[in-house]
Structure 1
């Protein structure tokens, strides 16, 4: 039998052109597979995180190990996205994390558009070695309508953080913005802010060796702007004053102020110390009596809302004791002096008797 007959069929059964086409296709399939294996872009993969557990800190740095990593990728732990992705090579990158609370998290790798890999429960932020704490924080809720301001009352809870203990009177909205070396007041049109006193829970962490209390992922400090969950939705809250939990007690203080006689002459009975920023709920001091000025000096009697510390009274986050510095700041003037009388004196700290 002829291999190709008169009709162009192979072995009398297959059309020659069809057979050649089938052979060509059969050859292209393995060739395409080999090309795919050789030239395809491999998918990135995570293998581990170092360290797998880290103590809570303001800034935490971890190392990502993996395969086929690329410079444009990013990493998150849970829903907390890394600040950066410092690519070293296809198997290693460094990631900086901020504001991640204690807990165990999935580590997720992303490219420009989508999730590429995930390590379940691969990273743990350990809580601070110090116990949780509470602070009294005086500040203002902002960006309120008149109706919202009326709904903020003592006893309102801040889920996961604390409770409102006192409420003042609403005033026009002003936000203090940090501009080195100080702050600038920025008025906000058609909004109110409401002075409140909050009892906030926080945890203590070490920031470059300095202990600080953190609530809502931010350090609790005067001027700090927080965003707090409330029954009215998320509200901005700017801190004016931070105190301990000790009750405020009236302390009678005599301060000898020194300075320009014209400035000292401005001091009068009833003047109130407003501190760095005025808030009607903040602990303050009021002038109760003023002596005559004498050679650039003037003795002034004040009633101070102070707290008992372990070794002294505390006012304005500073020790209040005989000889300590004292500033009186009002809307009209600011004077400095030193404490010369204090009533009552704070009790002496308890000391253990020395062994005999």
Structure 2
């Protein structure tokens, strides 16, 4: 479906009308919604430009001034546009221990589903927290701002905190940290050079995994030559396709691009040296 702005209105469809006796001064309605334009071609052909019309089957009506001259019943069918789904990564925080234990992969509502949970861990206040990945169904967003759930814009500059009812019956907070596409990633192997002081570099081991629950997480599968200030590693990571090329966690992933690997033991910065072939949807 092509969506363009025409005279301040959104064009959602163009209909071809064929018949006899068509005239340039006719105007069109889709039920009680005026068409954006009636584009006359010849007495046997015209186009009707359609703006925002509710989903469902509608009559196409032609008027000459205020007089109805033709009507085709249920000639226009507008299908509801399904809003996108995203993966929201974040943390359930300030939990009672019993509540933390009860959180599991489960559908919470028609628009929210917990798909993965991490281990529970204590916080500094004597409560518990638990990382989670949720699949969210974005609400219809006529303003085109992004993914809105329950009135909260998830891709706002400062991600929101959602309040959700969990299986225990309690209402708890879920702080959104990151959004990812709800599409299968493209798995690649790549060589990366990590640079730092010798002590953090000495911690790098095969099996180290980037600190996200999602299957895209970069994992070290081989450690190469070590030097005083850098080490070369081979990683496997899940990439997504964007308008600007392939990305890892929203950042460009190609030779020369910066790369960050954060685990529970260290945080290291580096650069991508080489990217291997793509394997669609293979996580192993």
- TM-score tier, shorter chain, comes to 0.5 to 0.7
Query: Structure 1 residues 263 and 139, CA, compared in 2 at 3 Å: closer, same or farther?
Result: closer
**One of 197, 211, 223 as aligned partner of 2:133:** 197
| Structure whose CA Rg is larger | 1
Q: Displacement, 1:252? A: 0.9
**Is 1:133 aligned with 2:69?**
no
**SS where residue 125 of structure 2 aligns?**
strand
**Is 1:219 aligned with 2:153?**
yes
Query: Structure 1 residues 337 and 195, CA, compared in 2 at 3 Å: closer, same or farther?
Result: closer
TM-score by length of 1: 0.47
Q: Deviations over 1:274-322 (max 9, x none)?
A: 2xxxx54574222222222347443211122333445633212112222
Alignment of 1:1-356 (within 5 A): 132-158=83-109, 161-172=111-122, 174=123, 187-189=124-126, 191-203=127-139, 211-221=145-155, 224-231=160-167, 232-274=169-211, 279-281=212-214, 283-294=216-227, 296-309=229-242, 312-345=245-278
Please list every run of 5 or more consecutive structure 2 residues that lacks an aligned counterpart in the other structure: 1-80
Q: Deviations over 1:176-196 (max 9, x none)?
A: xxxxxxxxxxx332x332332
Q: Displacement, 1:220? A: 1.4
Is the Cα contact below 8 Å between 2:188 and 2:279 reproduced in 1?
no
Q: Deviations over 1:227-269 (max 9, x none)?
A: 1244524221112331101124432110123444454344332
TM-score by length of 2: 0.57
Query: Structure 1 residues 282 and 224, CA, compared in 2 at 3 Å: closer, same or farther?
Result: farther
**SS where residue 207 of structure 2 aligns?**
coil
Query: Structure 1 residues 131 and 296, CA, compared in 2 at 3 Å: closer, same or farther?
Result: same
Query: Structure 1 residues 345 and 327, CA, compared in 2 at 3 Å: closer, same or farther?
Result: same
Distance 2:278 2:256 in 1: 13
**SS where residue 271 of structure 1 aligns?**
coil
Give the aligned CA root-mean-square deviation in angstroms.
3.3
Higher helix proportion? 1
**SS where residue 341 of structure 1 aligns?**
strand
Is the Cα contact below 8 Å between 1:158 and 1:228 reproduced in 2?
no
Please list every run of 5 or more consecutive structure 1 residues that lacks an aligned counterpart in the other structure: 1-129, 175-186, 348-356
> Alignment length, in residue pairs?
197
